[in-house]
Every structure is written in C-alpha cells, then in structure tokens.
Chain A
Amino acid sequence: MRVHLFVPCFIDQLFPNVAVSTLKVLRHLGCDVVFPESQTCCGQPAYNTGYFDEARLMAMHEVNSLIGMVSDKSEFDFKHDYIVGPSGSCVAMIRNSYPELFSEDERYSKLSLDLSKRVYEFSEFIDKIIGIDNFKGELNTTVSFHDSCHGLRELGIKEGPRKILRRIEGLKLIELPYTEVCCGFGGTFSVKFPEISAAMADEKLRNFAGTGADIMVSGDSSCLMHLQGRARRTGLPKRFAHIAEIMAESLPAERS
C-alpha cells in the first residue's frame, strides 16, 4: 500500500519527531511511504483568518505537491494510493475545506473532491484502512487522550486512537473529564485573544492534572504545542506527545 506522507508545515519545522514517528509506524505496518518534498502549508491559517484568496493559492500548491505534480517523480494513483497526515486539523482542511474553497474552479474542485476521498488522518488510516489488529506495542505508561476539535468534529475521530492505545501493552488510558471541550488553541485565535486562549488551556490542564496521567496524547500537535507551552509557563511538569510518537516508542525495535 503506497502512502504519500502529508506533513503539516509546523510539524515539519517544529516537531520533526512526529513526522519521523509517523513514517516509522507506517513503514512498520507495511506501507510504502513517500514524502513529496515540494509540499509546504495547507493554507489553513489564512483560511481560518478569513483570507480565502491567499488560502486558495496555497491549497493549489499543496494539492499539486501531494499528488506529485510539482517536482516529485512519484505520481499519485487515485485508485490505490493514500495521503496520510499526522494532524486531524490539517487533514480536515484538505478533506472538508478544499472542496469549498474550490467550489468555483472546475478543475481544482474535481481534484480536491477526488483527493478528499484519499486523504486520512494518521490514526484514522490505521483504524479504517490498515486495521488496528495489525498493530501491537509495549510501553509502560499512563496517558490521557486529548480529542482535537477538528479530528473529533470535522473528521469524526473518537474511538480509533483509543483503540490503538489499547493495543499497547503496559499502557493505561485514563479519560479526561470534558474531553470534548476545546483546549483553546484555535490557530490565530491563540494570538489574537491570548488571554482567553490561555484560560481555556488552564481549564484543560486542570482536568489533565486531575487524571494523574503522565502523558497527554493527541492526534494534533497544534493543541499539544499550545498546552505544553502553557504547562511549562505555569509549572506543570507533564509530557505532551503525539500518538505517532507513543506508537513508535512502543514498537519492538525501539525498546533496547
């Protein structure tokens, strides 16, 4: 199964280990993974701030890159290949918002609709396409899973990541109270209204501290970047990790 890896810009630049882990896990599960190197940003920051024209230009570039039409030699097979990204938010941008952005552009409208059927969030891809049973890991730790809003509400991801985490021997999952409440990141919202954003993070971190878990795991590094940044500022010594990182750490080769 061939996978074109979609690595959101901020993961590429700030959290490369998330992408490395994603690659590792997908390869471990038998996928033939390629990374189209001309990809940059899906355009979501501009889109959610209301700059649809700028977002559309970035979206065009991203579509072309992901299907191997910019500089890479690996062309995308719409019947068999998949695009997989370790971010519910950025995948939702491609799957749900691209078709809307391109509603008046015949060529890109069709392309983005075709693409939306082939693009998957990382845990969703393992849950729905590869099959959870193919994965098994071992890691002694206690975690809580944070549902990102876009993963949860735009993509309908809820049980998948939990099922995956339960495949890790030694890992204990403790549910967060009010897990479906937003953590307060919200893209440019976090810098436009930082006091509200931080207050929302504090609510989430209070609930997290209450679980007694060691690690907050999520499918979106953007939520984690915000929560971790706030936790470090307020002195909450906890680890924040992407589900791909936890999975990669739980693989046999990773344990020495």
Chain B
Amino acid sequence: MLDTLLSLGHGLDVALAPTNLLFIFMGVCLGQIIGALPGIGPSAGMALLLPITFGIPPATAIMMLAGIMYGGMYGGTLTSVLVNVPGEAASVMTAVDGNQLARQGRAGAALSVSAIGSFLAGIGAVLALAFVAPALAEFALRFSSPEYFLLAALGITATASIGAGSPLKALLMAVLGLVIALVGTDPILGSARLTFGTSELLDGIDFLPVAIGLFGIAEVLNSLERSFDTNPMRTRLKDMWLSAKDWADCRMAILRGGLVGFFVGLMPGAGPTVAAILAYVTEKRFSRHPERFGSGALDGVAASESANNSAAHGALIPMLALGIPGSASTAVLLAALVMQGIRPGPALMTEQPDLVWGLVASMFIGNVFLLVLNLPLAPLFAALLRIPYEYLAPGILVISLIGAFATSLSLFSVGLTLFFGMIGYLMIKADLPRPPLVLAVVLAQLMESSLRQSLMLSEGSLMIFFERPLSALLFLLVLASLALPAINAFMRVRRERHHHNSSQFTFTAK
C-alpha cells in the first residue's frame, strides 16, 4: 500500500514535467476529436499518430497515446447524442438514449452526465489499476472462451428487454442481427460464408456501417416526411446542465456502470463496446423507471458512458501486468512500446517503473483535463441543436457517410451504410426496434467464435459451460435473463385474468 503510494508519487513527478503535461493535453484533445468523428475510433487514431512518437521518450509517447484512447471515450458521446451517429463503437448505446434526450431538449444534461460519469469511472478504474493490478490480471486470465460465450449470450438475451416495445419483436431483430453477422469468413474453418463471391464481404459486415445506417441515416430519411415548418428544438439554458434530481437519479448508474465496465474491460476478449452494452442492460434491471430506456433515460446514458471509459482503463491492466492486449487500443499501445524498444511482459511494472507509474499518474491528470474540457462545452455543443433540422440533416448525412468511408477507405462501406439506412427507415415504419439488431451484430462474432472454441477445448462436451465456477455463475445469469421477461409476462396475464375474473364474479353475483 505504502509502496504503491510512493510509486504513484514518483509517477506524478514524471507526469507533471511540462513536456509530459503538454503531450497528455495534446493526447486527450486529439482523442476527443477522434472520438467525435464517426468511423475512426481511438485505435485507428492512435495508430495513425504512432510514427510521430518515434522521436520522443517512451513514457511521454505512451502517455499521449493513452490520452487518445480514453479521450476517445469522452469524444464519442458527442456525435451519439447530437446527431444519433455513434462517434466510435463504444458509444453505440449512447446513441439510443442520448439522442432521444437531445430531442427532448436535454442534450446538455446527457453530455454533462456522460462527462461526469466518464470522469468518476475513469478515476475509479485508475485507482484499481494502481493498487491491485497484478491480482486483477490473474483474475482476468480465468476468463476464456466459455465465459465469453456466456457473456455475449447474456447481452443478446437481455436485448429482449431493451426498448419499450414487445420483447418478441426485440428478440426477432436480435436474430436478424445474428444472421447479418453470419456474413463473412467462418471464424473456425476460414471458409467464406454468404459472401456471394465478393471479396469486400470476406471480413464480414462491420457493425459501424450498420449502426451509422440504422441510427443516423434512417433518422434523416424519416425526417424527410415531416413538414418543414417544424420548430428547432427548444433548449433553455436551465435545461443545459444537470439538476439535483438528475444527479440523484444517475449516481448509482455511474457506480454500477463503472464497475461493470471495469470488469468487462479487464477481460482480454471483450472491450469497451461490450462493456457499454452490458452496463446498459444491467442498469435497466436496476433502474427505477426501466420503461424510459430506449426513449431517453439519463441513467442509461450515464451507465454506458461510465462503463466504456472504465473499460478503456481496465483494458490496460492485462497489458501492463502481463503484456497482453485487452482491446484494439491497447494492442496499438503495445506496438508503440515495442517500437520504442521496450518489451512488454510480466516484468514491465518492475523494469519500467517510470513508464508504468508515469502512465498511471498521467491518467489522473488526463481525466481531469477531459472533465474541464467537456463540462463547459456540453451546453455549447448542445446549442448546436438550435439549428433547424433541415439545415442539420445534410450535415448529419455528410458526417455519417464520411465516417462510413473512413472505416475501410472503400466506397463499399458507404453503399452498405446507405443500404442499412434504408433498412432502418423501413424498421421505423414497421415499428421494429433497431438497437437489438445492432447489438446482435456487435456481439455475434464474440458469441459464435467463443462457443465453437469452447466446444473444441472440451472436445465436444457441453459440460465446459457448467464445470468452471465462473461460467456456472454466468450460466445462471443467462437463465435468469431469459426467464425474467417470461415470468413478468405471465404475472401480468395472471393479474389481468384475476382482475377480469373478479369483475365477472361481481357481475354475476348481482
């Protein structure tokens, strides 16, 4: 404990050097911008900036790159809330509720609560990283394919309860999402599946074109039907910030989201995106008003945004303690270390104390920078929505399509995005929920490959899902998640029938 504090003090010393402060600031600002641009996520942004880190000392370079990583988590919120296009993958849940809030004139509140939640969860995750990283890394290794499968299954089954509509429709859309995810290369056999001979489809349908199309483009298409005399969204200054009541509603959401995000982030097979989804569905279970989820729940936004930031920090634990990447972004960080001549591995924390503790300390500083940047800017950005929608819509289209192009630098993704925009429009018309479809596309790959890996590991025995203590626990959670909506529905029917019967009874008694 005392050792840790001493090391942390030393790390602060390193991080507070003026050059390092400057690079941390640059990193978080770049992260904020990269996160806000749909299409390029933090990992791509970090990789693009890798070459400029060659000349600078390793600790400084890593601090800056890490700044981009978690800065991206803050930045992604912006586009999700304002224009309903996820700025980066991990903000996909924010697009669902955040944009609904924006339509209700509460964009400022959504952005503020995201910034505060990200900050608190980020700081909590860094503290855990500083004090218990080695133990947590060992824990993370106990997660393997069977646990990942159950985790993904938990996410998919929980989609049934997302949105105010019928659970059956939601599950159907989730299945459609799974079908879309079948396109591509079979993860185990390596053979092409449903690609119709096109090499563009060999790597499958990335979920960003799906999300950008279903959320961003579909909304724009749908808005074309509305008449042009609609008033711009009225946002009064007093709605821009969080009220005391909002804060009371979101406190626990931030805590729960941060915890879920941290543990999911810790696991090398999952990442901030899965973390945000699981935090969102968890929050719905605990929320006092679950019916608001999908139509503008501030605590849903708070939970998923806290989760993605703490997951981004949590992913550093297996990287620093064991030298294995926990996410796409930490893989780039590892590459940066290797290029600096540092070999990441179990001995990194003792061999490179300046670097490791400097990085840990820099994350405290970077998160403070981001909070200070984002809080005053929240109302400012929210004010963008005062622009009438007919002027905003072309801008949304442009941002969406550039984002789609940036995912693979090919026009094919742009076409795919437009295609899913059309599908999304039809789904709005048919009153089908869109989030379950997107979630299934995100989770399907993890679910399929880990299921098949599990069965290969166990040489075909299904017992692998119950024998391991962690998977047994997760299995129970999946069962509960499937049973709950059914039990709820059953109880409702019973209550209604009971009510019906008793009223009939009184009638006949007369």
A, B bound: no
